[in-house]
Homo-oligomer: A and B are copies of this chain.
Amino acid sequence: MKIVVDAMGGDYAPQAVVEGVTLAVKELDVEIALVGPKDVVQSELNRCGCPEDKVEIIHASEVVAMDEPAITPLRKKKNSSISVGINLLKESGYDAFISAGNTGAVVAASTINLGMLEGVERPAIGLVIPNLKKLSFLIDVGANAEAKPEHLLQSALMAKIYAREVLGIESPTIGLLNIGEEAGKGGNLAKEAYKLMEGRIKNFIGNVEANEVYTGKSHCIVCDGFVGNIVLKVSEGFVESAGKLVKREIKKSPIAMLGAFLMKIGMGDIRKLVDYSEYGGAPLLGVNGVVMISHGRSSPKAIKNAIRATKREIEHNILAEMRKELNKSYCPQQD
């Protein structure tokens, strides 16, 4: 198994990425192809003391910055680590591509260069999130900001396959993220998607309100990429802002400071309970290849966990399962 990793993707690249890769090849049974400027990557590998036999370097002279347009790897920077990495996926011997870089650029390059799976019109990014029971799968968190009802149906089908094959949930339930529980709630997109999903998804449990995202009411929660990205970012921002607010309050009281200290000793960092880096990456689904998108602020641990999650996808043959099942998705009354 050989996983291609974008050495230059993310706010802390290449340092955090190469450190993460080093952790991964030591702990997991994987081989990695690191894509980036050869000298830069080699010197990072040396710094990290990475086992050389598990890692090859593929040279890519350019880097797509986090704020460049999504089209950049396709037009202006064809020698970027994203372009070169995605193109490697098309060659035999490489099983997946991971990047913590510019999400829009990874989505665009994957969609155009790898193409779509049959039965899927738009890519969607899934996100494994912790909940009160165990895990939920939120899809789409940002690939397709202008979704049509059919796209949500296709996301639902992909989520079901992913949750079953990769997350090991035997018969995953599917909910539609909406602003009310009853059928007929929401805007036109939600209303139409509800009708489509009701007819074609066996374990469709109807609408799920956003306050149920973290309760585990549904295994899979489907929404368009705009709304999903808002859910993700609001949650992240909330943790950060609430953390700062609490810290400020704690500092006002010595008793509270002692309390916080004891809590940390007793149970570790609270933020770990809601830490996305535990899963490490968000699969880009619908494209004709295994692509994993990591958070821009990925730590080495997050990169390692993303490699672990990608490995699991490959082992469970996610792409073959998708190809097998999505074909029949257009027949009414089936899923």
Contacts and interface: CB of A to CB of B under 8 A. Distances in A.
A254 B266 contact: yes
A149 to B, nearest CB: 14
A242 B274 contact: yes
Contacts of A234: 210-211, 213, 230-231, 234-235, 238
Contacts of A67: 181-182
A240 to B, nearest CB: 7
Sort chain A's interface into a size bin: 35 or more
Given A187-B226, A227-B227, A241-B215, A262 B273 contact: no
Interface string A205-230: 00001111111000000001111011
A165 to B, nearest CB: 26
A327 interface: no
Q: Binding site of A, secondary structure by majority: helix, strand, loop or mixed?
A: helix
A181 B226 CA distance: 13
Contact of A233 (B209, B238, B249): B209
Contacts of A315: none
Interface string A241-257: 11011100110111111
Contacts of A249: 267, 270, 273
B250 A233 contact: no
A297 to B, nearest CB: 11
Given A145-B187, A212-B237, A245-B273, A262 B255 contact: yes
A259 interface: yes
A258 B262 CA distance: 7
Given A213-B234, A234-B210, A236-B211, A259 B250 contact: no
Interface of A: 67, 104, 131-132, 142, 145-146, 177, 179-182, 186-188, 190, 209-215, 224-227, 229-242, 244-246, 249-250, 252-267, 270, 273-274
